[in-house]
Chain A
Amino acid sequence: MALLEIDNLTHYFGGLRAVGDFNLHLEEGELVGLIGPNGAGKTTVFNLVTGAYKASEGSIRLNGAELVGKPPYVINGMGISRTFQTIRLWNSMTVLDNIKVAHHGRVKYNLLDMFLVLPRYRESEREIEAHAMELLRLFKLERHAHEPARNLPYGEQRRVEIVRAMASQPRLLLLDEPAAGMNPGEIGSLMEFIHWIRDEFKLTIWLIEHQMRLVMNICERIKVLDFGETIAEGTPAEIQNDRKVIEAYLGEEVEGV
């Protein structure tokens, strides 16, 4: 059984068919790309998988368990985590607190424990803080731990968002345009970084990206959307030579090629 199975996923915004008949099976440990022109429906697919939107039709299963209809926090707890196309950190909170709050699913105390600062509360808080600091150290962000998230440079904020996504110990990580706003040098290190995450945490990664250099270099499999419909699917080499894909991107500015 595949880790994630998406069958006949369709979503309408009013009359607009934003995603139509989307199918994808992700195997454990894969690194898969989702590309397509602006407005093709890529982010919408992520929003459907993570529960931000409820799919109009179709099925999404994680290890066989249906996700459609489940609230986002439950899906997050089941092992799917993500980053956002535009950074959505909790700006006024410190970097450490950003990571800690993403541990919400691991909170092991009730209100009374908390109000009275009972041992169970202290134990759980210690555990969460230790795990959060450990993550920050792994990602070399510990020196920013006590700074408000908004004070960090753009590139660092993107990294913090990835760390925050890792806090819930996901099996599947969704990255929505991780290279947006980065220069070629930064994109190079981002590619290494993504590989490193997958190997270090034994994750499955599914990413949306406009930067063709990144997608073609690191993805094992690529899916191409246009106007919500899948127009191609295959290895990077196959996609690069696909006529439909070239047509879809014609006239659109293709960054990074």
Chain B
Amino acid sequence: MFADLNLRKRWAAVTMPLREQLRRIPTLSYLVGLFAAVVLEQAVGKDFAQNVLDFRRLPRFFGIVDIFEPFGNLDFSGVLAPFFPSPTGLTQTPVQDAGNAIGQLVTDFVNALFYQGPRDPGFFSVFLRVLVYDVVVFVIPTLVVALLVGWLLTHLLRGLPGWLIVALNVAALYTVVALWGGDGGTRELTLVYMGINIMLAVSLNLVNGYMGEFSVGHAGFMAVGAYVSSILTMWFFTDTTIFEGAPLVATDSGVVLVVGFVVALVAGGVAAALAGLLVAFPSFRTRGDYLAIVTLAVNFIVQGVLNNIEVVGGARGLNGVPLWSDLQWVMILTIISVIIIYNLVNSTYGKGIIAIREDEIAADLMGVHTRQVKLVAFLVSSFIAGMAGGLFAHALAYVNPGMFGILKSTEALVMVYLGGMGSISGSVLAAVIFTLLVEALRPLAILKWVVIPLILIFLMLFRPQGLFGFREIKFNLRGGESAAAAQEAGDGTA
């Protein structure tokens, strides 16, 4: 016991200078480090994975997706199926059949953990090799390069204006993600969903976290944006039987297509913002549970209306939406959305939103035009949700009303509460984690929707404030003093 404690202390003492160093280097060094790691992976990653670690292919998403794959063979249906069978399907009594199925399940589970055959390694084997892969290809190169360039960057960044440093970081992040994820395949698609999820989570956090309302119908706004933008792009740029056949604008001109997509997405956002009025106006008179019901109603109204308009395909929806949402589009719009929300809630005007949450009557009486502020919050929130919806439609190539139901709204809520109320960085992080989780648990098929809610329940029990409730992740943008130390010094002089 004591020896263990000592070891931990020793380890802490030995690594202390290193950790201090890692804290002092600017954020940009890590991005440069990541960039190097990504280049390294492209150069030798596949060789290393296949020849040294005996993977069949490059680990997907840092191996997160591969880890759970061994469980994909588990057959849960056998447990309940004997109770609802065609009688001929039974070999023994239902109870005996179910018993056998459970026995099989346990055997399969143990095999999935350890070994399923030469082509099907078990969970532990995959896990260990993924760990080695990530540490060797990503963690070590990133940290080494970050430390190497840290000192230089600290000096280079000195004296640069804050906005330029932020811009440099954003540009570096963009480059790294584009380089790593722009494969036109699963990586890219997952990153596209991730960006869309970030937009959803951050925009919902504006209303639920910063303003303290409880919107449970965010997917409704997404639906409006998805449909409006899809209708526009299909009508103008594609052959479709729904909108008079031939495209209105038959062009291959890149510029026209880009402008067309921007206009379609913005139009989707504006339409979603108009739908946001359906919540904004009631919010002048009511709040809390009652407004939550209004948001739920709006979600259902949107779905109901779309289900019943034959021109847009009714319940079948629209097929043949152009596949235009690639990683670049999603990244740019995600970055813009995050910046918009960040600037809003950090302005004196936008802090009126937080004042409304804390004490609306006081806000009203101290000069905050509360109705206007609420209107702005709802419009901005639903506008971004609408744009996210537009990107979503153009990533899947189809839309239908069923995609934008209460389940989608709940996903947005899960991300907001996982990340923490009133925290932009929390929402971004939560959207990243959530997207990866959905991907990683894909082998579990329908069971995914047991595991994810369970995670939410545990979160509410043990960390109800979420990962970053009402706090932001602090980045050491300039380097030098560690962020924490700078914070303390700032408080001391204040």
Residues of A within 8 A of B (CB): 50-52, 71-73, 76-77, 81-82, 84, 88-93, 97, 100-105, 107, 109, 111, 114-115, 117, 121, 124-125, 128, 142-143, 145-146, 164-165, 167-168
Contacts and interface: CB of A to CB of B under 8 A. Distances in A.
A127 to B, nearest CB: 10
B354 A90 contact: yes
B339 interface: yes
A52 B354 CA distance: 20
Nearest to A91: B358
A93 B350 contact: no
Contacts of A50: 365
Contact of B366 (A101, A114, A125): A101
Given A90-B355, A115-B339, A117-B343, A168 B366 contact: yes
A82 B494 contact: no
Interface in B340-367: 340, 343-344, 347-352, 354-355, 358-359, 361-367
Contacts of B458: none
B365 A101 contact: no
B133 to A, nearest CB: 41
B362 A115 contact: no
Given A84-B362, A145-B494, A146-B491, A101 B343 contact: no
A146 B487 CA distance: 11
Contact of B376 (A72, A89, A111, A145): A111
A25 B370 CA distance: 30
B462 interface: no
**Among the interface residues B349, B361, B368, B490, which one has the most CB atoms of the partner chain A within 10 A?**
B349
Given A114-B343, A115-B344, A101 B351 contact: yes
B349 A107 contact: yes
B151 interface: no
A101 B369 contact: no
Nearest to B369: A73
B174 interface: no
Contacts of A82: 365
Contact of A76 (B339, B348, B350, B366): B366
Contact of B367 (A90, A121, A168): A168
23 contacts: A50-B365, A52-B364, A73-B367, A73-B369, A73-B370, A88-B361, A89-B358, A89-B362, A92-B470, A93-B351, A97-B351, A100-B351, A103-B348, A104-B369, A105-B367, A107-B348, A111-B376, A114-B343, A114-B344, A114-B347, A114-B349, A115-B339, A146-B491
A52 B365 contact: yes
A117 B362 CA distance: 28
A208 B111 CA distance: 77
Given A73-B369, A146-B494, A168-B366, A92 B343 contact: no
Nearest to B422: A92
Contacts of A115: 339-340, 343-344
A102 to B, nearest CB: 5
A187 to B, nearest CB: 24
Contacts of B366: 76, 81, 101-102, 104, 164-165, 167-168
Nearest to B342: A115
A100 B348 contact: yes
A17 B464 CA distance: 46
A90 to B, nearest CB: 4
Interface string B163-202: 1000000000000000000000000000000000000000
B383 to A, nearest CB: 11
A73 B358 contact: no
**Among the interface residues B363, B370, B376, which one has the most CB atoms of the partner chain A within 10 A?**
B363
Interface string B402-420: 0000000000000000000
Contacts of A76: 365-367
B348 A90 contact: no
Contacts of A165: 366
Contacts of B361: 52, 88
Contacts of A117: 163, 343
Contact of B362 (A90, A124, A143, A145): A90
Nearest to A97: B351
A149 to B, nearest CB: 9
Contacts of B350: 114
Interface in B298-353: 339-340, 343-344, 347-352
A107 B344 CA distance: 13
B349 A93 contact: no
A184 B316 CA distance: 75
Contact of A88 (B339, B344, B359): B359
A115 B376 CA distance: 12
Given A73-B368, A104-B368, A143-B494, A90 B363 contact: yes
Given A50-B365, A92-B358, 6 more contacts: A71-B364, A73-B364, A89-B362, A100-B351, A102-B366, A111-B376
B491 A104 contact: no
Given A104-B348, A104-B349, A105-B367, A93 B343 contact: no
A118 to B, nearest CB: 11
Nearest to B353: A101
A109 B349 contact: yes
Nearest to A149: B358
A128 B362 contact: no
Contacts of A93: 351, 354-355, 358
Contacts of A107: 348-349
A148 to B, nearest CB: 10
